[in-house]
Copies of this chain bind each other. A is one copy, B any other.
């Protein structure tokens, strides 16, 4: 039986729509729209909003305006705006832009490390180590994404011990949080429980689920029951899955909020304001939101 008593009383929603969401959307979004998007999300009560990425524009043209965006961003009090930083060059650009919080993006598998970072699974840590050290020396907080934690398009199911080993190296390096990513959306609830409980402690763990196979929210529920209290999500479910033909990508923030509200878990977000924002962004992208909640609340009753 489930025991709601084990659930966290409060959850931090780590909003990734402006970064992970937009970087996977093909329609070009201009700087003004991005700034309005960030402001609307903050206005809707989100307190952690991943703003952009300093990955080379060749790989993520959608976010080539990262420096401009951060220069023009009107930061709201009490809101954290992390940015993704791929390497030392990216960190330099992030420091020049005055960011206070960064995230690095590592792989739990050999093949994806080679394809995404052109490094072996072990070599990636040597690349990240000086980034994390320098960032911390500059007073920044550093989050680590660990991708392909459950399945990998080339390697299939990923062994738990391998994920835990990689995750611990990132935490030992000085990252304050480890976001366990189901990059291709294949995980199921039992796997989630197995992985999370294989770590010594849950305090530094966050989860990042994709809804490619409809499992994102069930996986989130499993993680919450294991004590995880930071959940990544994307307003309107922005961002397709780059490894499947499916249009569904990140867990939608609105669907997460519906679950949290039902469970009585505090999160600080304002659902109608989020829905309004996602409807507005869906118009900019010229396609309907992937969020079930947005679809249901925004549609006229039949």
Seen from chain A, the residues whose Cβ lies within 8 Å of a Cβ on chain B are 1-2, 4, 6-7, 185, 187-191, 193, 197, 211-215, 217-218, 220-222, 225-227, 240-248, 252, 255, 258-259, 261-264, 291-293, 295-296, 298-302
Contacts and interface: CB of A to CB of B under 8 A. Distances in A.
11 contacts: A2-B189, A2-B193, A188-B258, A189-B221, A189-B259, A190-B262, A213-B255, A214-B291, A214-B293, A215-B262, A248-B296
Contact of A193 (B1, B242, B255): B1
B215 A259 contact: yes
A186 B295 CA distance: 13
Given A185-B296, A215-B258, 7 more contacts: A188-B262, A189-B221, A214-B293, A215-B217, A215-B292, A242-B302, A244-B302
A214 B237 CA distance: 11
Closest 4 A/B residue pairs (Cβ): A188-B262, A245-B299, A214-B292, A214-B255
A221 to B, nearest CB: 5
B246 A295 contact: yes
A188, A259, A262, A263 — most chain B CB neighbours (10 Å): A262
A257 to B, nearest CB: 10
Contacts of A190: 4, 7, 262-264
A293 B213 CA distance: 4
A157 to B, nearest CB: 10
Contacts of A187: 262
A2, A191, A211 — most chain B CB neighbours (10 Å): A2
Contacts of A226: 1-2
B296 A212 contact: yes
A214 B299 contact: no
A8 to B, nearest CB: 12
Nearest to A241: B296
Contacts of A215: 217, 255, 258-259, 262, 292
B258 A214 contact: yes
Nearest to A217: B218
